[in-house]
Amino acid sequence: MKKLAILALALLFVLAGCQGRSMNDIIEHEPSICGIVQDVREHSILIYIETDGYPNGANCVVSLDVENPDSYTDVSVGDEVVVYYNGDIAESDPLQISTVYAITLKTPANRETE
């Protein structure tokens, strides 16, 4: 009976963790990368990043399947965004980030019309 109670308590903690984390928690505890949106696709965006290890910058495909529902996913070409992710970047061409916790807008694109 004691083992069943411990199992039920563990399951409760797992289910409570599935409710999602706050944006502040994600920003404080997860790695991030900043980039300029080059292309907006149905389920992903292509960003251009300038970071150590990539001397000429690099393109990176970022999934729009984001954990936090308050994320900025209505992106436009030219927006500068910050992507909070699990720390794994697939070393493909272009780079790829599949596990995305949140996306925030750093600088909006210049949307002025001439």
In a domain, 73, yes or no: yes
The reported pLDDT for the residue numbered 11 is 47
Q: In terms of residue numbers, what domain contains 90?
A: 21-107
- CATH number of the structural domain spanning residue 79: 2.40.50.140
Cα gap 47→26, rounded to integer Å: 20
In a domain, 13, yes or no: no
The reported pLDDT for the residue numbered 55 is 60
Contact partners, residue 64, CB within 8 Å, separation at least 6: 43, 44, 45, 73, 100, 103
How many domains does the structure of the chain reveal? 1
pTM above 0.85, yes or no: no
Convert the pLDDT of each residue in 60-98 to its tens digit: 999 999 999 999 989 999 999 999 999 999 999 899 999
Confidence of residue 12 (pLDDT cuts 50, 70, 90): very low
In a domain, 96, yes or no: yes
The reported pLDDT for the residue numbered 54 is 65
In a domain, 5, yes or no: no
Q: 46: helix, coil or strand?
A: strand
